[in-house]
Amino acid sequence: MARPRDPQRREELLDAIVGYLAEHGIAQLSLRPLAKALGHSTYVLTHHFAGKDELISAVLAHLDERQRGRVGALPDPGTSGGLGLGDVVRASWAWHLREDLPMVRLLHEIEGLSAAGRLSGPYVPKMLGDRAEFVAGVLRAHGVPEEAALRKATLLNAAYAGLQIDYLTTGDKDRVEAALDELADTADSWTRPQ
Partner DNA sequence: CAATTAGCATGACGGTCGTTATGCTAACGG
Partner DNA sequence: CCGTTAGCATAACGACCGTCATGCTAATTG
Q: What letter represents residue 121's amino acid? A: G
Q: How many residues bind a second copy (CB under 8 A)?
A: 49
Q: Please state the closest distance from residue 8 (CB atom) to a second copy, in A.
A: 30
**Pair 161, 111: CB distance under 8 Å:** yes
- Taking the C-alpha atoms of residue 2 and residue 5, their distance in angstroms, rounded to an integer, is 10
For a second copy, the binding residues in 106-145 under the rule CB under 8 A are 106, 108-118, 124-125, 128-129, 132
Exposed/middle/buried for 139, CB within 10 Å: 0-12, 13-18, 19+?
Answer: buried
User: Which residues, other chains included, contact 111 with Cβ-Cβ below 8 Å and sequence gap of 6+?
Assistant: 124, 128, 161
Q: Please state the closest distance from residue 21 (CB atom) to DNA, in A.
A: 13
Point out which residues bind a second copy (CB under 8 A).
Answer: 25, 27-28, 105-106, 108-118, 124-125, 128-129, 132, 150-152, 154-155, 157-166, 168-172, 175-176, 178-179, 181-183, 186
Q: Which chain residues interact with DNA by CB under 7 A?
A: 1-6, 9, 29-33, 35, 39-44, 46-48, 51-53
